[in-house]
Amino acid sequence: MIVVLLNVYIALLALFVWLRFIPFNLFWKLSPALVLIALLVGLFIPMGWGAPSGPAAVLRNSVQIVPSVAGEVIDVPVAANTPLKAGDILFRIDPVPYQAQADAIAAQLKLAETRLAEMSQLQSRGTGRAFDVEQRQAEADQLRAQLEGAKWNLDKTTVYAPAAGYVTNLALRKGARVTTDAPVMAFIDTADALFGAEIPQVYARYIEPGQPVEVTFKAFPGTVFTGRVQAVLQAIATGQTQPGGLAVAPPDLLPAPFVVRFTLDDAEMARRLPAGSTGTAAVYTEHVQVAHVIRKIVLRQTSIINYVDPF
């Protein structure tokens, strides 16, 4: 954009010199360099923190589906990338072993309750010991707890969608054996879309929640969407510390960009955008507002270039 403005100035300067409106002396010969410095110092450098811009992306929460019980898969009724509602069945594990376990514990519990009733009756007649009643009571309570666990395992043989969304990269098939220590599919939660932009630290000083945002995505060239800043994430990996047994080993610190989360005003578009969509976003702060016009023009140029630029 600065090149365009400078070329416009040079063209006007050449026209005025040709029309003899101004003399072509040393001052006017050096004026393009002076204008370039004025544009840099007075407009384009301040525009970096008055209307910062950076790459943007659409993110969605991904849930790793890990079975709570192991067994052979007997049914996978879902299809990849098909919308699902919360509670829809993702797959079923053979319930026979878990049903048998629950039935066996239920039978033992029934016998334990019968013995408990007999011991209680003997104690009430004065011919039984309180210790025997307490022992039978403990056995019955233990079996009840085991039965609850067995029923829980039986219920977990059917795996449900945790939220509205879809399964992607589905490779699970009937007959596969799953375990409790390995994810078997990735579930993408479509309830909330997360929009984030990376802003260099030097330009992030004036960004605050509620400020207007404009963003253009590669998937929708020629279109600029509006939104609002939601938050500036207060931590990045560079500032994270972990417990350890070693003294501090200072790494080579680089000024990694801050992540600015924002929302789109168009809720339907926010729902439609696929996870992984990328683009360019600009935040308009309350500072250097004269530069907002330039940033808007640059962003719209980027949106038009998206028609032919795949990168």
Strands 165-168 and 212-217: unpaired
Could you report the per-residue pLDDT of 259-286, keeping only the tens digit for each? Answer: 999 999 998 898 888 888 999 999 999 9
Q: How confident is the model at residue 309 (pLDDT cuts 50, 70, 90)?
A: confident
Could you report the per-residue pLDDT of 169-209, keeping only the tens digit for each? Answer: 899 999 999 999 899 999 998 888 899 999 999 999 999 99
Check residue 41 and report its DSSP letter: I
Could you report the per-residue pLDDT of 212-260, keeping only the tens digit for each? Answer: 999 999 999 999 999 999 999 877 777 776 776 777 776 677 788 999 9
- In a domain, residue 246? The reply is no
Q: Both 34 and 79 in a single domain? A: no
Query: Please, are residues 161 and 189 in contact by the beta-carbon 8 Å criterion?
Result: no
Cβ-Cβ contacts under 8 Å for 143 (sequence gap 6 or more): 105, 108, 109, 112
Q: Which residue range is the domain that position 296 belongs to? A: 51-60+191-237+255-311
- In a domain, residue 248? The reply is no
Query: Please, are residues 185 and 161 in contact by the beta-carbon 8 Å criterion?
Result: no
Could you report the per-residue pLDDT of 4-57, keeping only the tens digit for each? Answer: 666 676 788 677 778 877 887 777 778 778 767 776 666 778 788 899 999 999
Query: Please, are residues 134 and 142 in contact by the beta-carbon 8 Å criterion?
Result: no
- In a domain, residue 249? The reply is no
- CA–CA distance, 252 with 29 (Å, rounded to integer): 46
Q: Both 197 and 175 in a single domain? A: no
Instruction: State the pLDDT at residue 44.
Output: 77
- In a domain, residue 289? The reply is yes
Query: Please, are residues 8 and 256 in contact by the beta-carbon 8 Å criterion?
Result: no
Q: Is pLDDT at 65 greater than 90 in this prediction?
A: yes
Helix, strand, coil % (nearest 5) of the chain?
40, 25, 35
